[in-house]
Each structure stands twice: as structure tokens, then as C-alpha cells.
Amino acid sequence: MAATPDPALPMPSDNESLTQIESQALSELDAVANDDALERWRVAYLGRRGRLTLVLRGLADLPIEERRRVGARANRLKQQLEASVEEKRARLAQSAGEALNAERIDVTLPGPPLPRGRLHPTTQTLRDVLDCFVSMGFQVVEGPEIEWDHYNFEALRIPRDHPARDMWDTLWIDYEKDGERPMLLRTHTSPNQIRVMEQTPEPPVRVVVPGKVYRYEATDPTHEWMHIQVEGLAVDEGISLADLKGTLADFARRIFGPDRKVAFRCDYFPFVEPGMELRIDCFLCGGEGCRTCSHSGWIEILGAGMVHPEILDAVGYDSERYTGFAFGMGIERIAMLRHGIEDIRLFYSNDLRFLRQF
Ligand code: FA5
């Protein structure tokens, strides 16, 4: 006797319900994206209580004719769904493999090269110059780039109406006090002579002071509106012009080598007496005269002299007892001479093709 059909089961005799199961199963399978979802799908249709399994189980309750017809169709659908699961499983495995392959990192490949920085050529020369003076017993100190008129000019015996102020055309700070502009971008490192002596109650003094200086002037192959100077100052008992010349000649030999020609020539600076400049023969023309040396055959690298006694007295030193020398050099010019650079403006044009050579 045939059992009563379970009302929870789909009507196996209903072709519609098999068609529905087939179309739902296939469209859901299409959306399956991973192994877990595939397993859930398999259980839902082909598992022990899956939708198709229940149809197959219900076949026994059907009349023989119906059972044959529906059974044949349901079994075909079962085979079809089982084949689809396998196919889907294979496709998922394949795409997982491809994703893994795409992500694989070859740890044996060399990394991309890291760009390596280096010191600017003027910094390299500055450090060599400072090392040279440190080895002679000088101390390195620094001072402000924004300076008072007092230190930059007045205290160095360059009063307001003094023609020497023309030598240092000045960039003034936009700040007024008592109708005057007392601050400026320092035009040289010499104000630090005063600052250091004021802070050192009694000699000996032996310092070098590096730093940027600014001038309001047109540029040419040896002039920039900003350049780096190193100031030197030595004050003690018994210091003479011979000490100044000996120190600078030794410096020039160490920085330029023994073959460079060095010449001292008289020059005027209000804060030294006597004053002089140090020149090196032009690397480019060998002294013949060219554009870089302004056709003189020489390139001036520093001004120097014996500290004026009035300056020693003004900072409270006894000028009868103490004497001193001072110098101020341009670092770019020294770097030009060392490396054979024809135009100072190359240093600050930010052209990496130029800078990478050093
Ligand atoms: C001075 O600046 C004095 N303070 C030097 C000094 C110090 C004299 C102590 C006596 C005692 P001068 O203006 O000549 O002097 O500059 C000194 C050096 O800086 C020059 O020899 C030159 O090498 C460099 N220099 C001067 N002007 C420029 C410029 N516009 N561009 C690049 N370098 C410069």
C-alpha cells in the first residue's frame, strides 16, 4: 500500500517543482564564490535533507507510471547537479591557484636601488676648511645671520657715512627704531669678531666662525648674492703678522696642495691694520687671465689683517699687551679652485647633473 505523501515535500509529480529546483540550483551555484558557499549549496540541494534528495525519497509514494517518469528526470537532474558541483569545485581551485601565483613574491630578486644623497660641494669644502683650522687649535663657534647694524658695521669701525659701507651693499630688515633701520642680513662674518671678544673677558682667543652672508649685488662668475664665509680670529700676547701669514700659507698648502701659487697683497678693511688679501693663481688659465678670474690671473679667496688696536680697546682688551689677526674667506671660491668650477652660480642653481659630480 502506498504511503501518504509528506505535505512538507515538494510534489514529485509536479514537473514544475523539478524545473524550479533546477533553475534555482543553477543560478545559486553561479553566485557561489568560495569552497564554504559551495558546500552550503551542496547540502541545500544534494545533502541528506536537500531539496532534490527529498524529491527522490518521495518517489516511492508515487504511482508506478508517475514514479518512472519523475524518477528518470529527478535522477538526471541529480547527475547534472553533481557534475556541476565538481566542475565548480575545480574552477574555484584553479582561480585560487592563479591568485596565489599572482601574489607570489620572489624574495631572491634584488630590491630597487635606493637613491643615495651626498653633501653639497660647498659643505664638503667648508668641513675640510674647518677641520684644517681645528687641527691648528681653533674652536668653531657660530653667530646670527640677522645682525645688528652695530655689530656688522659700527663696532668694526665702519660708521654710517663711511665709504667702506659701499663694499657691502646691504639687505636691510624691514624694522624701524627711532627712524632708523638697525637690523640687516649680515654682509660678512666679521661681526662675530666683536661678539666672541665680548664674550671672552680675557685672551687667548682662537676661533673660526662659519656661516652664510648676504649682499645686495649683481651676480657674475665669482659673485653670488649669498655666499658662505669662514671668519678666523686669534688674539693673544705676541701675535704678529708673521703668525697670520704662516697660518694662512699653511692652510692654503693643506687645502690646495703644494703646487698652487699663493700671493698676499695689501688691501683695506677698516677693522684691521695692516690689511691684506690672499689670492690663488687661477686654476683655469694658470695665471694668463680669463673670464673666471676677471682677466687678472688670480682669484681672491680671503681678506685678512691685524686686528685694529681701537677694536681691542673697545671690547676691553689692553691693546698694549695683546695683538691679534683676523681673516674672512669665501668658501665657494675655495670650492671653485679645488674642483675647477668656472662659475659660482652653478652651486645654487640646483642642477643635479652638476651636483652629482661631487
Ligand atoms: C670681507 O667680507 C671681510 N669681512 C673679510 C675680512 C675679515 C677682512 C677679517 C679682514 C679681516 P670681502 O668682502 O673681501 O671681505 O670678502 C671676503 C671673501 O669672501 C672674498 O675674498 C671672497 O672670497 C668672498 N666673497 C666676497 N664677496 C663674495 C660674493 N659676492 N660671492 C662669493 N664670494 C664672495
Q: Is the pLDDT of residue 260 over 50?
A: yes
Q: For the chain, how big is the Rg over CA atoms in Å?
A: 46
**CA 104 to chain CA centroid, nearest Å:** 33
Residue nearest to atom 31 of ligand 1 (CA): 223
Amino acid identity at 127: R
Instruction: At 214, list the grid cell.
Output: 648676504
CA of 319 relative to ligand 1 center, distance in Å? 26
Scanning 104-234, the segments in alpha helix (DSSP H) are 121-135, 149-152, 191-199
Domain locations along the chain: 16-96, 121-355
- 248, 302 Cβ separation under 8 angstroms: yes
Residues 6 or more apart in contact with residue 206 via CB below 8 angstroms = 137, 138, 139, 233, 234, 236
Tell me, using a 6 A CB cutoff, whether residue 125 lines ligand 1: no
pLDDT, residue 287, reads: 86
Q: Is the pLDDT of residue 18 over 80?
A: yes
Mean pLDDT (whole number) for 234-238: 98
> What residues are labeled active site?
168, 188, 215, 229, 272, 326
pLDDT, residue 15, reads: 58
Tell me, using a 6 A CB cutoff, whether residue 270 lines ligand 1: no
**CA 97 to chain CA centroid, nearest Å:** 43
If one residue of 277, 302, 331, 345 were mutated to test the ligand 1 pocket, choosing by the most ligand atoms within 8 A of its CB, it would be 302
- 194, 156 Cβ separation under 8 angstroms: yes
**CA 159, 165, 169 angle in degrees (round to 5)?**
140
- 251, 257 Cβ separation under 8 angstroms: no
**DSSP classification of residue 302:** E
pLDDT, residue 162, reads: 86
Superfamily of domain 121-355: Bira Bifunctional Protein; Domain 2 (3.30.930.10)
Distance between CA atoms of 103 and 108, rounded to whole angstroms? 15
Tell me, using a 6 A CB cutoff, whether residue 157 lines ligand 1: no
- 145, 212 Cβ separation under 8 angstroms: yes
Where does the pLDDT of residue 5 fall: very low under 50, low under 70, confident under 90, or very high at 90 and above?
very low
Lowest mean pLDDT, pick from 20-34, 145-159, 322-336: 20-34
Distance between CA atoms of 172 and 147, rounded to whole angstroms? 10
CA of 9 relative to ligand 1 center, distance in Å? 105
pLDDT, residue 2, reads: 42
Residue nearest to atom 15 of ligand 1 (CA): 303
Scanning 257-356, the segments in alpha helix (DSSP H) are 309-314, 331-339, 352-355
CA of 331 relative to ligand 1 center, distance in Å? 10
Lowest mean pLDDT, pick from 88-97, 212-221, 223-232, 327-336: 88-97
Where does the pLDDT of residue 14 fall: very low under 50, low under 70, confident under 90, or very high at 90 and above?
low
SS3 221: coil
Instruction: Give the DSSP per-residue string, 89-130.
Output: HHHHHHHHHHHHHHH---TTSPPPPPP-----HHHHHHHHHH
Instruction: Tell me the β-bridge partners of 263.
Output: 279
Distance between CA atoms of 134 and 60, rounded to whole angstroms? 108
Instruction: Tell me the β-bridge partners of 302.
Output: 278, 329
**More confident: 209 or 337:** 209
CA of 87 relative to ligand 1 center, distance in Å? 86
| pLDDT tens digits along 61-85 | 888 888 888 888 999 999 999 999 9
Mean pLDDT (whole number) for 56-65: 87
Query: Whole-prediction pTM value?
Result: 0.72
**Placement of cell 649685488 in the chain:** 217
pLDDT, residue 291, reads: 83
